[in-house]
Structure 1
Amino acid sequence: MTLPAAPASLLGADGQPLFGRYAGQVGRIDWSQLARPYMRGALWRRFHHKRWHYVALCTEQIFAAVAIVDLGWTSTAFAYAFDRGDGDMLANFSQDGLPLVSARLADDAGGTSSFKKGQTHIAVDANGDGSYQLTLRCDYLEIDAVFGPPAAPLLLAAGPIARGSVHATQKSSAMPLSGELRTYREAFKLDGGIASFDYSNGLLARDTEWRWASAHSMELGFNLQAGYFGGNENALWLDGDIVPLAPAHFLYDKKDALSQWHIFTEDDMLDLTFTPEGARRDNRKMLVAASRYLQPVGTFSGWVRGAPDQPKRMVTQLMGVTEDHYSRW
């Protein structure tokens, strides 16, 4: 199944959202002109509009992730660097921002997202040629990275949200990576590695939860989610093409964060075992909000295929992440 090309806008002339899965990059995402039944007032949108820009960097030695999150009424950012050789979390940074000041999220995956508070500065910039630049300065961690263009088209997914309104996300396939990551201990070259990103923009419910899995090589990669967005963003990148996947199931022991995960899709096109090597956790309880966040880092093994009648393609120790996340925001 070939995905249609991404539209220039996710809103039709009548204000109705163009739900579906597409290949390519959409233009500016602006939910202010939604028509009924998805239309919401400006104050509701202020508190329910959630955007994030997440970048993963992977080499044979290092896995790192950086995220900028705009929650509408506040913002936050995090970054970590995991040493695959000794299983050590070299850096694990997070910082809340000032409302309407610290975070500047792009209106689309081709814009600039940034976070600044005190001595902390993070920026994700699109260079206009299909490549991107990541700059990070925070306590005990610095990153200067360039990645792209992607090996295959971006995935665009848009759909309705129960108890919310609408959501859209852009996921990249693998992108060639270069640059340097510096920790308190030493510097690590990123040249020859793989990068990927997740840009998401939606009007979400106050209580939102999901399970997620993502891993990429230049030949294949996948994005899987179960939760608030259903199977809308489930996709397989295979030999330069995007293949839509059915709803995914995530089976693991919630009492043991480093236990194996079993992940499969209902269309018999993906069946994987995920073996964690380490994990980032962040659990918070605030007066008006709460979150429970777990992102294990590890490897996927199993098989995928581009259609139910095609031969299985084996996946062996493909580096990536899973995630179990609940937010009251």
Structure 2
Amino acid sequence: MPPARQLLRPLHHKRWQYAALAHEHYFIGVAVVDAGWVSSAFAYLFDRRQRTLLASFSADGLPLLATRMENRAFGDATFQRGKQRIAFRRADNRLELTINTDALKLAAHLALPMPEQTLAVIAPANWQAHATHKSSALAVSGFAECAGQRLSLDGAIASLDASNGLLARETSWRWASAHSPALGFNLQAGYMGDAENAIWLDGELLAVGPAHFRYDAAKPLAPWHIHTDDGAVDLQFYPEGARGENKDLFIAASRYIQPIGTFTGTLIHPDSGRAHTVSQLVGVTEDHYAKW
């Protein structure tokens, strides 16, 4: 590696741990991020019945001070700023997630995925290389509290995303993810190319081709069409609402929107050709640009 790249390497090192909890009545998204230049965290709860955010927390902090994060996938990750705290803690065969913020409180146990059902990818990215680990549908237990309500996590489906790598100063992507015990998918167009595009069918993890996201960036709550070149994925996404954020911290910036909604369409087994129907599967899409 050239000396200049070696000096810049710590600033290009990006790590994050993300969890999604999808339920018939709500959707929860939470992440801890170490972006080299800056660290951040967010947590939100979207009420699917009212189609509104009941709770939303977001904060930034200094790297190495606000955030502590293990390099192993699905390991410990903590963000703390004052009394606001988000923490993932690895404990045997589960990940313990706690959120203690003014907007949202949560205590949950997430079952860790089996190795054979974990998407694990290392691939060239837009600066050097990036690794990601993503789970299929996971069991979850616990509760969340916000807006004067206490919500049981019984019946929710969890999924995890642990990413770690060396990315360019400017990085952008489109992403879609949704899971049930019978099927699920992770699709991305951007810095990783098609390396992390995969579907889960009856517990089997299968690679699929490059993904295309057809949507109106000016109207992200209009329906999306997502498909892959190999015909394995053909989905319509119907947003119910979204969480978005635009940040400019001078040395870093982020613009993204993450619509929450349902997917309908077809997943086809790449080898057998068997079609699996997707019907109102709860999940998210994302359009993200980062300068970090």
Using the size of structure 1 for normalisation, the TM-score is 0.85
Q: Does 2:69 match 1:72?
A: no
- How far apart in 2 are the matches of 1:306 and 1:148? 26
> Which residue of the partner structure matches residue 210 of structure 1?
173
**Residue equivalent to 1:246:** 209
1:312 to 2:279 alignment: no
Shift of 1:150: 3.0
Q: Does 1:283 align with 2:259?
A: no
Q: Which residue of 2 aligns with 1:88?
A: 52
Change (3 A) 1:284 1:154: same
**Structure 2, gaps ≥5 residues long:** none
Q: Give 1:191-230 correspondences, 5 Å limit.
A: 191-230=154-193
Letter of the 1:283 counterpart: N
Alpha-carbon contact 2:208-2:270 (below 8 Å) kept: no
- Give the letter for the 1:197 counterpart: L
For the residue of structure 1 that corresponds to 2:11, the secondary structure is: helix
Could you tell me whether the CA contact under 8 Å between 1:38 and 1:166 is conserved in 2?
no
Contact 2:121 2:131 in 1 (8 A): yes
1:150-204 alpha-carbon deviations (Å, 9 max, x no partner): 3762110111123x11100000000011110100230100012100010000100
How many pairs align? 291
Please report how far the alpha carbon of residue 221 of structure 1 lies from its aligned counterpart in structure 2 after TM superposition: 0.6
Distance of aligned partners of 1:38 and 1:304 in 2 relative to their CA distance in 1, 3 Å threshold: farther
| Corresponding position of 1:158 | 122
Task: Check whether the contact 2:38–2:252 (CA below 8 A) recurs between aligned residues.
Answer: no
Aligned equivalents of 1:223, 1:110: Cα separation in 2: 17
TM-score scaled by length of structure 2 = 0.96
How far is 1:244 from its partner? Answer: 0.4
Quote the offset at 1:148 in angstroms.
1.2
> Aligned to 2:152, which of 171, 189, 197?
189
Could you tell me how far apart the structure 1 residues matched to 2:195 and 2:18 are?
18
Distance 1:149 1:231 in 2: 25
1:292 and 2:292 matched: no
Report the AA paired with residue 172 of structure 1.
S
Work out the percentage of aligned pairs sharing the same amino acid.
49
For residues 2 and 234 of structure 2, the distance between their equivalents in structure 1, rounded to whole angstroms, comes to 37
What amino acid does structure 2 have at the position aligned with 1:202?
G
Matches of 1:227 and 1:178 in 2, distance apart? 33
Q: Which amino acid aligns with 1:109?
A: A
Query: In structure 2, the residue corresponding to 1:315 is in which secondary structure?
Result: strand
Give the CA RMSD over aligned residues.
Answer: 1.6
Alignment match, 1:232: 195
Gaps of 5+ in 1: 1-35
Provide the C-alpha distance between the structure 1 equivalents of 2:263 and 2:3, rounded to a whole number of angstroms.
Answer: 38
